[in-house]
Amino acid sequence: MSKEARTEIDSLGEFGLIKLLTEKNTSQNESTLKAVGDDAAVIRSGDHLKLLSTDMLLEGVHFDLSYVPLKHLGYKAVVVNLSDIYAMNGRAKQITVSIAISNRFSVEAIEELYSGIYLACSNYGVDLVGGDTSASRQGLVISVSVIGEVEEDKVVYRSGAHENDLLVVSGDLGGAYMGLQLLEREKSVFVDNPDIQPDLDGNDYVLERQLKPEARIDIVDLLNKMEVVPTSMIDISDGLASEVIHLCDQSGLGANVYDEKIPIDPMTYQRARDFELDPGVVALNGGEDYELLFTVKQSDYDKIKGNPNLTVIGHMQNKDAGIQLIAKNGTQHELSAQGWDAFLKQNRS
């Protein structure tokens, strides 16, 4: 008697698994305008569209409490969810927070976690309106859901880009990844010799990018002030390369991304060199920057050019041309995603 075939999850990866689980999903309600497949679900509700997104963070997979302060963790857990709403050109209004905790955590520790949650709510004008608590046998689990809203004529999906649209990114990239490398290095040193204190002086920028990222509501405000509505948009959580591929796949297009145009902070650049890493590869694949990647019409170029918060890094093209990274010497290479994927074996601790 033959055994039933077994498919390992890591053979699919995170995005492959999501596709498998959702490809048969059908909406039962007319009010559901967008279900799975974007940064947030879109639901019709009165004069505005409601946006809904959720994320889960697990100890040992998404964070390491040996170097992540609980207050920072609470703040980051909220911010990474708000970023999904801003990636739809919307505004976050409410969140729910659910946690599972083991008995190694004290009441004071959970209060510290929530102090970060409340700080994020205060900074972004968001209300905590509910959640759940549960016991856990394996550390800390945090699940945050966020509700936002957007005007119907301003909602932006991943699928709206057109050929020749400009590809634009906010801020700079790779800093969060280099912050993580520094923290992991110092943890390793401490484990080998607890008498040696961490050496993190002079690295405030990249450490903050990892431990206390900010969601780019300011970019949503800026674009609104400029009267620019992106044709497509996504937040950069899994790495620039991965997000470019998402926009291309869902818009049915290819793209040219110019390596020399990708914005990298000088500290990020130097720390990458210190670790003998290619700064360009770090910026393309590092992840957790929570910047916004979006496309705009060519006619909007004059509105965004010269703005220090925005960088044009390429343009969309016909699907048959593929997704290409243009090196500084002009050679073309097919862009591939090497960013974070929680299900791949090489990312398991």
Longest distance between any two alpha carbons in the chain, whole Å: 69
User: Which pLDDT score, from 0 to 100, does residue 290 have?
Assistant: 97
Provide mean pLDDT across the span 39-54: 86
Provide mean pLDDT across the span 208-236: 98
**Spatial distance between the Cα atoms of 209 and 287, rounded to a whole number of angstroms:** 11
Residues 149-196: pLDDT tens digits? Answer: 999 999 999 999 999 999 999 999 999 999 999 999 999 988 888 878
> pTM here?
0.88
User: What does residue 234 show for φ and ψ, rounded to 5 degrees?
Assistant: -155, 155
Query: Are 9-22+30-151 and 166-347 in the same CATH fold?
Result: no
Provide mean pLDDT across the span 133-147: 94
User: Which pLDDT score, from 0 to 100, does residue 51 have?
Assistant: 96
User: How is residue 55 written in tokens?
Assistant: 């994320």
Confidence of residue 44 (pLDDT cuts 50, 70, 90): confident
Does pLDDT of 326 surpass 70? Answer: yes
User: Which pLDDT score, from 0 to 100, does residue 339 have?
Assistant: 55
User: Which pLDDT score, from 0 to 100, does residue 199 have?
Assistant: 81
Q: Where are the domains of the chain?
A: 9-22+30-151, 166-347
Q: What share of the chain is helix, strand, coil (3-state, %, to 5)?
A: 35, 25, 40
Does pLDDT of 343 surpass 60? Answer: no
In order of 12, 56, 271, the CA distances from 345 in angstroms are: 11, 20, 26
**Spatial distance between the Cα atoms of 324 and 336, rounded to a whole number of angstroms:** 9
Q: Are 206 and 178 in contact (CB under 8 A)?
A: yes
- On whether the 166-347 domain is CATH 3.20.20.70, my answer is no
User: Which pLDDT score, from 0 to 100, does residue 305 have?
Assistant: 95
**Spatial distance between the Cα atoms of 234 and 289, rounded to a whole number of angstroms:** 12
Confidence of residue 15 (pLDDT cuts 50, 70, 90): low
**Spatial distance between the Cα atoms of 73 and 139, rounded to a whole number of angstroms:** 14
Percent of the chain with pLDDT over 70: 87
Long-range contacts of 108-114 (CB under 8 A, 24+ apart): 109/70, 112/69, 112/70, 112/71, 112/74, 113/70, 113/71, 113/73, 113/74, 113/142, 114/74
Q: Are 40 and 88 in contact (CB under 8 A)?
A: yes
> Quick count: other Cβ atoms within 10 Å of Cβ 143?
19
Confidence of residue 277 (pLDDT cuts 50, 70, 90): very high
**Spatial distance between the Cα atoms of 136 and 218, rounded to a whole number of angstroms:** 37
Pick the CATH number of 9-22+30-151 from 3.40.50.620, 1.20.120.1200, 3.30.1330.10, 3.30.1370.60: 3.30.1330.10
In order of 24, 26, 320, 329, 337, the CA distances from 258 in angstroms are: 37, 38, 18, 10, 15
Residues 79-107: pLDDT tens digits? Answer: 999 999 999 999 999 999 999 999 999 99
- Alpha helix ranges (H) inside the chain: 13-22, 70-86, 107-124, 175-192, 204-211, 217-226, 240-251, 266-274, 279-285, 301-304
Beta sheet of 41-45, edge-to-edge order: 32-34, 41-45, 48-58, 141-151, 91-101, 127-135
**Which residue shows structure tokens 């053979």?**
11
Does pLDDT of 39 surpass 80? Answer: no
Does pLDDT of 31 surpass 70? Answer: no
**Spatial distance between the Cα atoms of 136 and 128, rounded to a whole number of angstroms:** 22
